[in-house]
């Protein structure tokens, strides 16, 4: 059996609240974890008016502005799927996230609901879990600020989905080796 080359894709999202379906995916940022200049970024039209004010404050995004400037979810997910396909080529795309459970839940929901399938499949690689395994540390020690300090990462998170995806990619490379 031949194992296909794995292409690690760092993905970050910003959302209007804690769960897909009730709250909206607002932006997607992604990059090849080993070639972060190969990237994707997209603003997404909200699917509801539901929002946690703190979530919007952190991102600086506005539901009204996204209604005008964002891509409709089917278009956004088709564009993201095309980019994932181009980025991974003949390899297998692997979703990489920092607290992947949250980001993947929105990406998976939106891919299934608006595109019909998820090019990442049903699993995601979590950088926090990877760090715990590599360092033998507690969950509490997996804060991005601690990982940045321990790994010597040069970038940092900003709550811009693409910049955060690039930060995550750097953490992933430094942890994985």
Instruction: Enumerate the active-site residues.
Output: 159
| Structure confidence at residue 3 as a pLDDT band (50, 70, 90) | confident
Q: Is the pLDDT of residue 119 over 90?
A: yes
Tell me, what's the pLDDT at 161?
97
Residue 108 lies in a domain: yes
Cβ burial of 110 (10 Å; 0-12, 13-18, 19+) is buried
The enclosing domain of 49 has a CATH number of 3.30.420.10
Residue 12 lies in a domain: yes
In the chain, the percentage of residues whose pLDDT exceeds 70 is 99
Of the candidates 29, 33, 27, 32, the residue with the CA atom closest to the CA atom of residue 14: 27
Residue 31 lies in a domain: yes
Residue 154 lies in a domain: no
Residue 133 lies in a domain: no
Residue 142 lies in a domain: no
Tell me, what's the pLDDT at 123?
84
Tell me, what's the pLDDT at 4?
84
* Count of structural domains, the chain: 1
* Residues spanned by the domain of 18: 6-126
Mean pLDDT to the nearest integer, 133-157: 94
Residue 165 lies in a domain: no
């Amino acid at each position: 059996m031949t194992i296909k080359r794995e292409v690690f894709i760092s993905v970050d999202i910003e959302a209007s609240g804690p769960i897909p379906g009730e709250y909206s995916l607002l932006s997607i940022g992604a990059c090849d974890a080993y070639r972060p200049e190969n990237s994707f970024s997209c603003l997404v039209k909200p699917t509801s008016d539901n929002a946690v004010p703190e979530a919007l404050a952190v991102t600086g995004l506005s539901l009204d502005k996204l209604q005008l400037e964002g891509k409709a979810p089917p278009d956004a997910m088709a564009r993201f799927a095309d980019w994932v396909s181009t980025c991974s080529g003949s390899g297998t795309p692997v979703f990489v996230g920092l607290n992947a459970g949250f980001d993947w839940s929105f990406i998976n929901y939106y891919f299934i609901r608006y595109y019909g399938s998820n090019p990442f499949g049903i699993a995601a690689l979590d950088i926090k879990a990877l760090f715990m395994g590599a360092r033998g540390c507690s969950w509490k020690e997996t804060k991005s600020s601690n990982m940045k300090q321990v790994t010597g990462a040069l970038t940092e998170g900003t709550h811009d989905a693409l910049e955060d995806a690039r930060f995550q990619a750097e953490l992933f490379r430094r942890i994985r080796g």
